[in-house]
Amino acid sequence: MSNFYNRCGVLWFPLMKKPSEKSYRYDPRNKGLRLEYGPHVRYLPPALVAELTGKSVKTVYKWINGTHPIDPAIRQVLYTRALGLLPHDQWRAWHIDENGRLTAPNGYTFRPDELMGLSVIKQLNGALQADVARLTIENRELRAAVDYLQANGIRAANVVPFPQVSRYETKKKPG
């Protein structure tokens, strides 16, 4: 996992040695750390921020009060883990929402199983395109052979001539 953060240029902070036994229910009377990035804003309880960053709750309260600035690497970890923002520049406008869905800049959302399905659809589409290309070549060869036979006046018993009817003409029903 640390290799992922090294490639993205983000520092990785291990979790605290002893997990907090307090609940993470947010109480509006308690101060929370305001974390915002563009349109994304969340108020995070200090205990949750301490667990995500590996810092103490006392340090988090110093960040909330403004007496100590937040290290940019820690802020990046919070953006990634709390807001669901993706740390690479190519994913700048994408994020993971509260429900765990990957959200595109145009508002479309994807579940992980939907993304797995896209790879299958891509493979099937490639096979279909190969079939269409093969059939197109085969169709051209057959049309060329039929045109050659008709041009030279050769009548073969198993060749059916193509009708020269426009596709937009409709057949009149007797009646």
Give the tens place of pLDDT for each residue, 88-99: 777 777 877 777
Question: Are 11 and 71 contained in the same domain?
Answer: yes
Q: Which of 45, 53, 48, 41 is nearest to 26 (CA)?
A: 45
**46 and 121, same domain (yes or no):** no
Residues 84 and 115 in one domain: no
In a domain, 165, yes or no: no
- 144 and 125 within one domain: yes
Give phi and psi for 44, each to the nearest 5.
Answer: -105, 135
**Residue 59: inside a domain, yes or no?**
yes
Looking at residue 98, its pLDDT comes to 73
CA gyration radius, the chain:
32
Residues 105, 146: one domain? no
Q: What is the pLDDT of residues 108-157, one digit of tens each?
A: 888 888 888 888 889 999 999 999 999 999 999 999 988 888 888 877 66
Say if residue 150 is in the same domain as residue 92. no
In the block, residue with structure tokens 């049309």: 143
Whether 105 and 119 map to the same domain: the answer is: no
Assigned domain for 106 exists:
yes
Q: What is the pLDDT of residues 22-68, one digit of tens each?
A: 555 545 556 788 887 777 677 888 888 888 888 888 998 888 888 88
Q: Which of 110, 133, 168 lies at the terminal end of a domain, its last residue?
A: 110
Same domain, 21 and 105: yes
Which tops the pLDDT comparison, 91 or 106?
A: 106
Per the domain annotation, does 170 fall within a domain?
no
Any alpha helices (H) in the chain, and if so which ranges?
2-8, 46-53, 57-65, 72-81, 112-151
Question: What is the structure's pLDDT at 85?
Answer: 74
Domains of the chain: total: 2
pLDDT, mean of residues 97-110: 83
Does residue 63 share a domain with residue 123? no
Q: Are residues 33 and 101 in the same domain?
A: yes
Question: What's the pLDDT score for residue 29?
Answer: 56
pLDDT of residue 21: 55
One domain for residues 61 and 105:
yes
Structural domain containing residue 20: 2-110
What is the side-by-side order of every strand in the sheet holding 109-110? 95-96, 102-103, 109-110
Q: Which two tokens stand for residue 171?
A: 């057949």
Query: Which residues on neighbouring strands pair with residue 51, listed in sequence order?
Result: none
| pTM recorded for the entire structure | 0.43
Assess whether 101 and 29 both reside in one domain. yes
Which of 71-75, 133-137, 165-169 bottoms out in mean pLDDT, i.e. has the lowest? Answer: 165-169
pLDDT class of 5 with cuts at 50, 70, 90? very low
